Structure 1
Amino acid sequence: MEHLYMDLRPWVCHEAACEYGNDPFHSREDWIHHLALQHGFDSGWHSIECPFCLEPTGSGKVMIVKHLSNHMEEISLASLPAGVDSDSDDESLSIASEHLESAEAKQNLPGLGPKAINRIHEHILQPLLAKPTLKDFEPIVLGVPRQIRSKEIICLRDVEKALIFYAPERTKTAASYFDFCLTSILCIQATVEYLSTHEQTRTEDRPYSNGYFIDLRDQILEYGRQLYTAQDSSKDVDVDAKDEIKLIGGIAETGRPAELVRVTKDGNHISMATGKVIDVEAPVIPSLSEQQEDEQEILNSMARRKKNPPPEELAPKKCREPGCNKEFKRPCDLTKHEKTHSRPWKCPFPTCKYHSFGWPTESKMDRHINDKHSEAPVIYECLYKPCPYKSKRESNRKQHMTKAHGWTSDLV
């Protein structure tokens, strides 16, 4: 009976004013998640008046879910035809068998662990759902938990594809596409460091790095420009939901501009920006890429070691950035170093070069914003009056007072 309900999909929101409308949910779990997230049931499953029978549902999650779902499942069963011939039965059994085989294959995949799922909810899904301007893309975001449970999503790269690949279906303007995709990229970039390597990407995927995110962002911008110029056109793009989305090339990878492509069933690579088939085997001339690193914090780090650390802690930790061969003895040093590649703290001003290039630490981003963009920047004046010295940076003021006035931290 359970597989029959999966086909009928009887679960709809009982709230008449709900923006989700009468669209059925893919599973019972998605429907329950919607009630908790969108209608406040999670804070307290109090008894309500059933919209079907007008009787109290009873209190508690189990009682409410059972009461409402029983009505919806009965209605869906009543809509089935009275008789079904044997051919239809055979066909249904065949389809059910295919579904079962597919489900068994997915169950053998290494899914995301509870901690990784919590991080994805905390750093990606919740921020996207909380942003009012991204309301049109809510169904895409709400579909991610179901895809994780069914193991359609088994790593962070799959989450990225689920969000960005289906974004054009919900896009009304180029601006909304930019907003959703670029916000998604920032959320994904902030999540990478919390996941293990196998939870970040599949074996055959290009690993996450600063260069990857720069290439991905550039291609999103290019595709958005194409949307902007085509807003008045009625031309539709034929997209198969089974097509795979991939990022190929990139200045940091091959020296050629990155292309966000759809890989069709026949193996063709179609650019999402131009809609044209591209030759992924075309030879390219590798180009040199400059990388700025900031190792001062690592050199100045004074964290103490354990007296008798296990051997695995003493093993060198290698940087995961392609082309970087640096190794570090401590995980904290590796994390700090890798942030000099990913530079996750982005300047919020779109015209600033650090909007895409970013900073390795939040404090450096804050200092940059105060120095370059603040209309009323914080000014640090010399404490030795009537000295006229002042600076936007507290460190500069301390240095001045030390050299000019003999100031020491003991005087604070």
Structure 2
Amino acid sequence: MTTTVALLTSGGLAPGLSSTVASLVEHWVLHDPDTRLIGYRHGWAGVLRGESVWFGPEIRRHLHDLHEVGGTPLGSSRVRLTNDEDCLRRGLVPEGRTALEMAARQLAIDGVTVLHPIGGDDTAANAVRLAEHCRAIGQPLTVLGLPKTIDNDIEPITRSIGAASAADAGARFARNVMAEHSSSPRTIVVHEVMGRSCGWLTARTAMRHLDWVEQLARIPTLLEPEAWGIHALLVPELEVSIETVAAQVEPVWSTRGSVNLFVSEGAGAAMVLEERRRAGETIAVDPFGHPRLDQVRVGDWIARELGLLLAADRTLVVKSGYFARSGPAEPEDRVLINRCATVAVRAAIDGQSGIVGGDTAADDRLGVIALDRIRGGRRLDVTAAWVQDLLGRVHHVHPVS
């Protein structure tokens, strides 16, 4: 009997989604060319709508091209399978039916017995609920997820797909935009990096940027590497007041006339949210209840308040998020993707469900991690050696409290 395997990508973009789709299909074809492979369009929304694409011979011949592009060839969406009200409002389920019921029904119609959801902790949560529902109704389903998120905040995954590539891309972005410090005297440049509650991406991006800065030649009066550096690093794990930031960058400000900040989009978000709510503003939330950080605009708030404290002539907020998350996988991620796809296909053949990744509780060994162990919201370990080294390289840092 021919096995039908389905793939989907869900949630925000991350580098390597296209490569992950290609790798999974390639490994299944190597195992058995007769495997029927489909991809659901736009994540869980495609499952609920019954919209899929068949990975037939023509597509299989050109899969290698997917390794060179960013985004996802299948499309994505943010759908919570336990939020029936939202699914009904969006026309994803009919009145009186649950999303879990409709998702399981579509998998049965398509003959899917193996599902590869590629996404973050919210995608894993959907997979857990769907697997439980299918088990309860006696419907066979093996779920082998692959973890992707640029935040690298999935517990207990050592490194999620796309995180390293996003940091490298964000650092390349910073090389250009940090030049803005030279366009006008008394300028504050705020580089806002994606990261809701975890500062890993901001820290890793900052590390990569400083690696480049420290290679710059010094030309007296013309090129000072320090001017391209990072003078304050703000992450959710090291919350400080804006007055403290101003005091710490003031020596650089008074001598150089410009400062550069790397800021996680979630750093100080709670404070900014509360201020805007007191002002009567309403901040939209996504289907999972997360405030829309693009509406919170932490970087804008920091630039405005710091600009007032330092009497800046110009403040500039630049966001690397979409640039960083939308590119192809870098070599480090390409290796990780291939290893994860290999393990995922082997485990699926054995009927084992879970999420494939390095396990922090098992010396970071790559394997299949039980679905019920997957949690989001992991924080950056600010006591880690590489983070402490980074803080020492930043001109003015917020010490570990």
Q: Specify the structure having the higher radius of gyration (Cα).
A: 1
Give the structure-1-normalised TM-score: 0.26
Larger RCO, structure (CA 8 Å, separation 6 or more): 2
Higher strand share: 2
